[in-house]
Chain A
Amino acid sequence: MSIRYGLLALLETGPRYGSQLRTEFESRTGATWPLNIGQVYTTLSRLERDGLIVPEGGGDAKQQLYAITGTGRRELADWYARPVDRTQPARDELAIKLALAVGTPGVDVRAIIQAQRAHTLKAMQDYTRLKARALAAGPDSQEEMAWLLVVEQLIFAAEAEVRWLDHCESRLLRFAADRAAASPAAERDTPGAPDPEREAPLPRAAAETPGGAA
Chain B
Amino acid sequence: MRARAADRGTGQAGSEQPVLRLDRLGRVHGSGPTAVHALREVDLTVHAGEFVAVMGPSGSGKSTLLTLAGGLDSATEGRVLVEGRDLAGLGRAELARVRRTSVGYVFQDYNLIPALTAAENIALPRELDGASRRSARREALDALGEMNLAELADRFPDELSGGQQQRVAIARALVGDRRLVLADEPTGALDSESGEAVLVLLRRRCDEGAAAVMVTHEARLAAWADRVIFLRDGRIVDESAAGNPESLLAGGGAR
B249 at the interface (CB under 8 A from A): yes
B254 at the interface (CB under 8 A from A): yes
Taking a contact as CB atoms closer than 8 A, the residue among A120, A129, A213 that contacts B218 in the complex is A213
User: Chain A residues near B253 (CB, 8 Å)?
Assistant: 32-34
A125 in contact with B242 (CB, 8 Å): yes
B245 in contact with A159 (CB, 8 Å): no
Given A128-B223, A212-B230, A157-B241 contact (CB < 8 Å): no
A156 to B56, CA, bound (A): 19
Interface flags, A194-210, vs B, CB<8A=1, else 0: 00000100100110011
B248 at the interface (CB under 8 A from A): yes
Given A118-B238, A132-B200, A156-B220, A127-B230 contact (CB < 8 Å): no
B239 at the interface (CB under 8 A from A): yes
A114 at the interface (CB under 8 A from B): yes
Given A125-B225, A126-B242, A157-B255, A211-B57 contact (CB < 8 Å): yes
B219 in contact with A127 (CB, 8 Å): no
- Which residues 110-160 in A have Cβ within 8 Å of B in the complex? 114-115, 117-130, 132-133, 135, 154-159
Taking a contact as CB atoms closer than 8 A, the residue among A117, A155, A209 that contacts B223 in the complex is A155
- Which residues 225-255 in B have Cβ within 8 Å of A in the complex? 225-226, 228, 230, 233, 237-245, 247-249, 252-255
- For the side of the interface on B, what is the size category? 35 or more
A162 at the interface (CB under 8 A from B): yes
User: Chain B residues near A28 (CB, 8 Å)?
Assistant: none
Chain A proximity of B248: nearest CB distance (Å): 5
A163 to B221, CA, bound (A): 13
B225 in contact with A213 (CB, 8 Å): no
User: Chain B residues near A158 (CB, 8 Å)?
Assistant: 219, 223
A130 in contact with B230 (CB, 8 Å): no
B188 at the interface (CB under 8 A from A): no
Taking a contact as CB atoms closer than 8 A, the residue among A32, A121, A170 that contacts B57 in the complex is A170
A31 at the interface (CB under 8 A from B): yes
A32 in contact with B242 (CB, 8 Å): no
Taking a contact as CB atoms closer than 8 A, the residue among B59, B217, B237 that contacts A213 in the complex is B217
User: Chain B residues near A210 (CB, 8 Å)?
Assistant: 57-58
Query: B residues within 8 Å of A by Cβ?
Result: 2, 55-60, 200, 203, 217-220, 222-226, 228, 230, 233, 237-245, 247-249, 252-255
Query: A residues within 8 Å of B by Cβ?
Result: 30-34, 114-115, 117-130, 132-133, 135, 154-159, 162-163, 166, 170, 199, 202, 205-206, 209-214
Question: A-B pairs with the 4 shortest C-beta distances?
Answer: A124-B223, A125-B242, A126-B245, A162-B219
Listed A/B pairs (29) with beta-carbon separation below 8 Å:
A31-B249, A32-B253, A34-B253, A114-B237, A119-B240, A120-B219, A121-B55, A121-B219, A122-B228, A122-B240, A123-B255, A124-B220, A125-B222, A125-B223, A125-B228, A126-B243, A127-B223, A128-B220, A132-B224, A154-B255, A163-B219, A199-B233, A206-B59, A209-B59, A210-B57, A212-B57, A212-B217, A213-B222, A214-B217
